[in-house]
Amino acid sequence: MLTMEDIIRDGHPTLRKVAAEVHMPPSEEDAQILRSLLEYVINSQNPEIAYQYGLRPGIGLAAPQINVSKRMLAVHLTDDKGVLYSYALFNPKIISHSVEMAYLTSGEGCLSVDEPIPGYVPRYARITLKGINLDGEEIKLRLKGLPAICFQHEIDHLNGVMFYDHIDKQEPLKEIQGAIPIER
Ligand code: K2U
Ligand code: NI
């Protein structure tokens, strides 16, 4: 199982690379890596396991964060309506998005960034994405709210982008005009 020792930290060059597409059908090794990403996120949300192994809780994890520069990510979260979003995807791609923006009023964190970096992170309020799951099926998701924020955070990791790249340097906590504030 993955632990925090497997997660590389800000400053590691892999976090700034554009990750490579995964060739389909995936090798057993790539499938195992993707399964381990989802396993980490689920384990990190289990208080007993997280405490026992010192896991920082996360709702998403991307392969570059374990020093694998390939386009794979996992998300496991429940939205404000109690809907579970649990996905492990190869080659995810945002195929359309709203003009309207949104941001978490709590700001964002990252398992690869040890210290808090305050500031609002502008994201698309709604996205449509597609990807390939572990059963080899192409799936298409229309997302808003925290699920949309989370997938955008993870897809940024596949493109060498960190959440703080989006924060206004002059006024990090300035309200983002016209954007939907999301409480969590
Ligand atoms: O990619 C990662 O480092 C995991 C991120 C994912 C994430 C950060 C901010 C906003 C959405 C997703 C975090 O460590 S997960 C921590 C967390 C937990 C609950 C809500 C938001 C963030
Ligand atoms: Ni992150």
Half-sphere exposure (Cβ direction) of 45: Cα atoms closer than 13 Å: 14
Range 4-182: architecture per CATH:
Alpha-Beta Complex (3.90)
Given 100, 108, 138, 154, which residue is catalytic?
154
**Does 108 contact ligand 1 (Cβ within 6 A)?**
yes
User: What is the residue type of 132?
Assistant: I
Q: Please list the rounded mean pLDDT of every run of 10 residues in the chain (184 residues).
A: 98 99 98 99 98 98 99 97 98 98 98 98 98 98 98 99 98 97 94
Containing 88, the helix (H) or strand (E) segment is strand 84-97
Residue 149's pLDDT is what? 98
| Residue 59 to residue 36: CA distance in whole angstroms | 14
Total-model pTM: 0.98
Residue 38's pLDDT is what? 99
Provide the residue ranges of all domains of the chain, joining segments of one domain with +: 4-182
**Does 64 contact ligand 1 (Cβ within 6 A)?**
no
**Could you tell me the distance, in angstroms and rounded to a whole number, from the CA of residue 39 to the centre of ligand 2?**
16
Cβ partners under 8 Å of residue 67, min gap 6: 6, 8, 12, 14
Cβ partners under 8 Å of residue 183, min gap 6: 105, 106
